[in-house]
Structure 1
Amino acid sequence: MNSTDQEAYYYDGYDYGNDTEIFEPCSNQNNQSVQKVIGPYVHSIICILGFIGNSLVIVTYACYKKAKSMTDVYLLNVAIADLLFVVALPLIVYNELTSWSMGPIACKLLRGSYSVNLYSGMLLLACISTDRYIAIVQARRSFRLRSLPYSRVICTVVWTIALLLSLPTFYYYNWYEPGHTSGIFINETELNITHHVEYVCEFRFPDPQTALRTKIAVPSIQLAIGFFLPLLIMIFCYSCIIGTLLRARNFQRHKAVRVVLVVVAVFIVCHLPYNAVLLYDTTNMFKEQSCEEADALQVATTVTQTIAYLHCCLNPVLYAFVGVKFRNHFRRIVQDLWCLGKKYIAPRRFSRVTSEMYVSRRSVDGSSDKGSSFTM
């Protein structure tokens, strides 16, 4: 393989052999069939559920429940990260199924923001487990360590770390025409083929050394910082929490133990399969594989990655709606939306008679404006 072919290889990932022989890239038909089902349908469900759940968390904190504790600040930032993630997901799916048509700037911003939200979301889950560890295991020191200014500083540090870890993604993702479409010339008159330029939004490197280092460094950092570090922190913190709760003979504490186990189990079930496949892919990245093996690996990556995406839909349920106080605020949102809908949909119904009936009903139910404020 000469220098020109070698340069093309590191640009778009296809090996063209020597000057006279061209090797066609693997078609990965099984993975394409899986993507045609998962991409438009399963990912659409994930986007809708994730958007609704995380939007409700953000609206609750913005309008009904102000962030007054470290846990509130963490939950709000997790919801923001997951919401940005599900907003970017449809464009990621579009990029995987078709050619990229939105230009180089959108390519970099999309892939870079995807990486930032991935790192920040996982690190914030580790922060939540640490916060719960301090509140339960280190209860005597919790008032000093769990202050609101500390939480804002920690969240700023987390987002900064996520941005720094995503810089290679911002820099090396590019919008370009792959070499296997631009470097091959076909007699279009004889074959009756119309040349159609297709662009992709993928990694592109200036030299083989940079490609080698980056293709190993990016998934390795994602595995270390985006999975194993949060997993180890969660296992340590929640193990100590479970030990503390079991020593307290209280029904509510035992119920809290089950909630902790569910949180850890869901995290492992969602993220362990994908990271195991990513680890295998990274360790075998530069080994020769048949098209069947490469196709099977791509199918495994697509399926396990989709399972990992489900976690952004479950985070609002596991971390926010599990609390009684948060559920009360959510009920208030539903009630206000219902009253607002009745006000604009059927305004004529609010006559003197209905007003008298409404006052009478309030007196019977014993509800009042003071009763609408939920207790802790």
Structure 2
Amino acid sequence: MTDTPAPLAVRAAPPSHVPLPGADLGLTWRAASLDDAAAIAALKVRSQEADGLPYRSSDAEVSEELTSEWRDLRLDTLAGFDADGTLRAWAQADTAPGDERVVRAFVEGTVDPQWRGRGVGTALVAWSQARARQLLAASGKELPARIATFTDDAAPGVAQVYRAAGFTPIRYYTHMRRPLDVPLPEVPQIAGLRVVPWSAELDDQVRLAHNEVFADHWGSEPRTPEQWRAARAMFAPTWSFVALDGADHVVGYAVSGRYEQDWPAAGYPSGYTELLGVRREWRGRRVAVALLATVMQAYAADGMHYAELEVDTDNPSGAHGMYAALGYEVAHSSTMLTIEL
């Protein structure tokens, strides 16, 4: 006989109130608003520069996060300002409304490099974990639950703060890149399939295909139309493509992003393949290769130096090996740390 798990409201152990960090940290605390987007992006960039990371946050990305339809900024965000009114610390907790297998709350925080080593990061993690527990308990979903964060392996100090708060590594990701100044792979011709540019008319079909394709991938959950629309700040439609069968059904897709703010830090312009998927019945027929080869051609035609993407090292489809065979190499890596409930 298997034990029945305790209700999520019990497992999550949510506090009745999430207090602000103490005044002894030297900052004034309040919830963030959309007006803070530029200051939050600037804070993230200062931290990324200090850690030597090859990417930068943008105002547009932060604004998109803050305007998600399911967010309550009054409760889900925290901003700490110094005596001069400069943002020195930031944290948030967010949910994913489409979750059906594991209900998740994602947390993140940033401390200004000049304010590290004072306990601010520890306070941010404590606050965000408490709020995440409230969000999970309020979800109404009696499912396994997870509080999660992503940390760049080039900034191990961040992971240390989360680990001290009870988070443990659970999944590892590699960021891969492929030079475009060497011969590109040919686009294989596949009977009964054609690759076409992304269009607004196909967009929801792509969303539904993505939900189906990733149903067997660890950590992936269905995306609602609202979630799908809320991930478009860096979307590059002219670099995105869809594979259709003879009945014009979506059987595969490659969705790209254009992260121009990253290029000076990385040292080169690039196209980033955000999402790549092929329906199960079409796997093993080089559909993914056709999509990636098409994407590479589009990047190269616009003067990009690299094609980039990220992959779960335990991806069940063997994607890591396919990318390597196409010339992608590991550039850097990141880790997901979680508290499983």
Please tell me the TM-score bracket, short chain as reference.
Answer: under 0.3
Q: Considering fraction of residues, name the structure with more strand.
A: 2
Q: Considering fraction of residues, name the structure with more helix.
A: 1
TM score, norm. by length of structure 1? 0.22
TM score, norm. by length of structure 2? 0.24
